[in-house]
Chain A
Amino acid sequence: MSTLAPAPEALTILIAEDSATDLLLLSTIVRRQGHRVLTASNGEEAVEVFARERPQLVLMDALMPVMDGFGAARWIKQLAGEELVPIIFLTSLRESAALAECLDAGGDDFLPKPYNPLILAAKINAMDRLRRLQATVLQQRDQIARHHDYLLHEQRVAKAVFDKVAHSGCINAAPNIRYLQSPYALFNGDLLLAAYTPSGDMHVLLGDFTGHGLPAAVGAMPLAEVFYGMSAKGYGLVQILREMNAKLKRILPVDMFCCATLLCLSTQRRVVEVWNGGMPDGYVHDIASGKRTPLQSRHLPLGVLSAQAFDDRTEVWPMALGDRVFLLSDGVLDTADANDQLFGAVRLHQVFAANRDPDRLFEDIEKALAAFRGEARDDVSMVEITLQPGQSLRATGPLYADSGQSCPLDWAVSFEFRAETLKRYNPLPYLLQLLLEIHGLREQSGALYSVMAELYSNALEHGVLGLDSRLKRNAQGFAEYYRQRNERLAQLNSGFVRVHVQVVPTEAGGKMSLRLEDSGPGFDVEQVLARPLDIDRLSGRGLSLVRQLSSEVRWSDGGRSVCVEFCWGALA
Chain B
Amino acid sequence: MSVESEVSLDGKKLTIAIKGRFDFGSHQTFRDAYERYYKVPELYVVDLKETTYMDSSALGMLLLLRDHAGGEEAQVQVINSNSDVRKILAISNFDKLFDIN
A residues contacting B by CB (< 8 A) are 208, 210-211, 254-257, 259, 277-280, 297-301, 304, 306, 309
Is B37 interfacial (CB-CB < 8 Å)? no
Residue from A211, A279, A280, A297 in contact with B60 in the complex, judged by beta carbons closer than 8 Å: A211
Question: Which of A255, A279, A299, A301 has its CB near the most chain B CB atoms (within 10 A)?
Answer: A255
| C-alpha spacing A62/B63, complex, angstroms | 68
| C-alpha spacing A293/B72, complex, angstroms | 34
> Is there an interface contact between A304 and B63, defined as CB atoms closer than 8 Å?
yes
B residues contacting A by CB (< 8 A) are 24, 56-57, 59-61, 63-64, 67, 72, 91-94, 96-97
Further pairs besides A298-B93, A299-B93, A300-B92: 12, Cβ < 8 Å: A210-B59, A254-B60, A254-B63, A254-B64, A254-B67, A255-B60, A255-B63, A257-B63, A277-B93, A278-B92, A280-B91, A297-B91
Question: Which of B56, B67, B92, B93 has its CB near the most chain A CB atoms (within 10 A)?
Answer: B56
Smallest CB separation, A256 vs chain B (Å): 6
- Of chain A, the residue at the smallest CB distance from B59 is A210
| C-alpha spacing A304/B96, complex, angstroms | 11
- Chain B residues within an 8 Å CB radius of A256: 60
- Of chain B, the residue at the smallest CB distance from A216 is B56
| C-alpha spacing A257/B91, complex, angstroms | 14
| C-alpha spacing A153/B93, complex, angstroms | 38
Question: Which of A210, A279, A309 has its CB near the most chain B CB atoms (within 10 A)?
Answer: A210
Given contacts A278-B91, A300-B92, contact A210 B97 (CB under 8 A): no
| C-alpha spacing A301/B93, complex, angstroms | 8
Interface of B is mostly: helix
| C-alpha spacing A422/B59, complex, angstroms | 36
6 shortest A-B CB distances, which residue pairs?
A: A255-B60, A278-B92, A210-B56, A254-B67, A255-B64, A300-B93
Residue from B56, B93, B97 in contact with A297 in the complex, judged by beta carbons closer than 8 Å: B93
- Of chain A, the residue at the smallest CB distance from B24 is A211
- Chain A residues within an 8 Å CB radius of B61: 255
- Chain A residues within an 8 Å CB radius of B63: 254-255, 257, 304
Smallest CB separation, A159 vs chain B (Å): 21
- Chain B residues within an 8 Å CB radius of A299: 93
Question: Which of B57, B64, B92 has its CB near the most chain A CB atoms (within 10 A)?
Answer: B92
Give 19 CB contacts A-B under 8 Å. Answer: A208-B56, A210-B59, A211-B60, A255-B63, A256-B60, A257-B63, A259-B56, A259-B92, A277-B92, A277-B93, A278-B92, A279-B91, A300-B92, A300-B96, A300-B97, A301-B92, A304-B97, A306-B72, A309-B72
- Chain B residues within an 8 Å CB radius of A304: 63, 97
| C-alpha spacing A309/B71, complex, angstroms | 12
| C-alpha spacing A208/B91, complex, angstroms | 13
- Of chain B, the residue at the smallest CB distance from A298 is B93
Smallest CB separation, B66 vs chain A (Å): 8
- Chain A residues within an 8 Å CB radius of B67: 254
> Is there an interface contact between A211 and B96, defined as CB atoms closer than 8 Å?
no
- Chain A residues within an 8 Å CB radius of B92: 259, 277-278, 297, 300-301
Smallest CB separation, B25 vs chain A (Å): 13
Given contacts A211-B24, A306-B72, A309-B72, contact A257 B60 (CB under 8 A): yes
